[in-house]
Structure 1
Amino acid sequence: MLNDLDIASEDPAELKAVNKLLAEEVKALSLKVEQLQHQLHGANRHRFGSKSETLDQLHLNLAEDKEIAEAAEEQRDPAPSADKSPKRQHSRKPLPDNLERNDTVLVPGDSCQRCGGSFKQLGEDITEELEYVPGRFVVNRIRRPRLSCSCCEKVVQSPLPSRPIERGRPGPGLLAHVLVSKFCDHLPLYRQSQIFGREGIDLDRSTLSDWVGRSTALLEPLADAIGRMVRQGNAVFADDTPVKLQAPGNKKTKTARIWAYVRDERAWVGQSPPLAWYQFTVDRKGEHPQGHLSGYKGWIHADGYAGFKALFG
């Protein structure tokens, strides 16, 4: 249509008509562009919808991993330093009133150790610990009365018992449930947060990340002890398996490795219980199993992977 117009004319009436036609043409083209954009958006959503959800989940998992690593570092070295970022603050929501409460009362004694006088109660501190019993939540309340001697007025109070996370709210059963759900059942923390929310328990994903990070730091000595016991055996079974490792910024994953070293003496009625020691690496270089089993003097059962050959010398 526009090719048929004579826009070289200087007649005001003709120029006015041309302007009108141009405006109509631009409006028609704009509507066409909007229509095509809408169709393209629908086609992309239909074709890449699951991919978009996967990317969203990837971002959440990356955030979880970062928060877990930060919490693990804080658990290993709680002392603040100038190089560390400010400690993250977690909002602590009140626990629902309908949860079962189990009280434990810690009393420092029946009489004053200084003068033998009797105690009178001044008040008490109550520490609530959220615990998970398979199938339900309960709240363990640790009650610690503050007592004053009626003779010498000395004030005493029992200390808090040892707990997995100092000044933390979760009990060991709840921590075990979160860890098993994440690492054994592959249930991301944001989904666990949603599940807890349906039970009336308001636990943010960042709070769960902090718990997981601190728990991994607490479990490191146990993992190291298992590794030492595995390498004390007369025979070790070694193998590796590929795992997908998230690669931020590349929009894809890379192949990492989980190395398994097993001590199992049941076949010859050995005295040691079966043990499995796992190590993670970002690649499959032979230096990894050589470092893991450095100094080992027993038998090694492994496949023909070249990375194990240096151990057979």
Structure 2
Amino acid sequence: MIIRTMCGIITRMDISVLTTTSDIEELRTLALAMVQKVMAENEENEKLCLKNASLLQRIQLLEEALKLARQQRFGKKGETLAGMQRSLFEEDMDADIAAVEAQLDTLLPAEEQSAPERPARKPLPAHLPRVTKTIEPASTESCPDCQGELRHIRDEVSEKLEYIPARVVVNRYVRPQYGCICCQRVVSGDMPANIIPKGVAEASLIAQVVISKHCDHMPLYRQQSGAGPLGYPSARQHDGRYDRPCGGGAEATGGITALDAADMRCAACR
């Protein structure tokens, strides 16, 4: 046990002597020894502080000298010396810079070099749907080497991103018709509302054409080249009728004004 006091450090042995002895001379001798020890430590501490301040001042002077030497050699032409003054410093400038850098390396503490961080692969977004594909070995019953029994230990999972191209389907609406025996009336279900009256394009296809044209900046002739592999007629083949109900003169929807189109483009950029 060590106890620190304002006068220094009192060890367990000194405390035991203080508590057991009653001799005044022995206590005086012990106190004098402790005071001398504290004074010696204080003196050594002052020397270390002076040495530290001297080293810091020397480092500052060397850094300023190195900065001045680099400025004289690599500075702008307006800040460098010319004529005979320049030739006086060019001979020993390299040696002076090397000596100053060597002294700085010995005075300054060594910088801790941390190990370079290995780039970590970020996980794929969690909101994307997962399709599990299990790859089983050739035999799950016996070991291929010793024919021993196999037991499931764990699953090694690795995720890869796959792009599934867009596909087009045809919605076939079948409306059974029923006739009344009494009044001979024919009854059938009502067709759902469509953006283009009697048109062949569903709302999703029209939305894709409009977004591609106004947000992705793909005109109809470019969309036509992409519609061929999917197997459906493009809007340009129908005289742009997929896009007309969303234009300024549409009666069915009232049209999308220039302000609405700008809002749609801004929403796509968010």
TM-score exceeds 0.5: no
Length-normalised TM-score, structure 2:
0.31
Which of 1 and 2 has greater Rg? 2
Give the strand-richer structure, 1 or 2. Answer: 1
Length-normalised TM-score, structure 1:
0.27
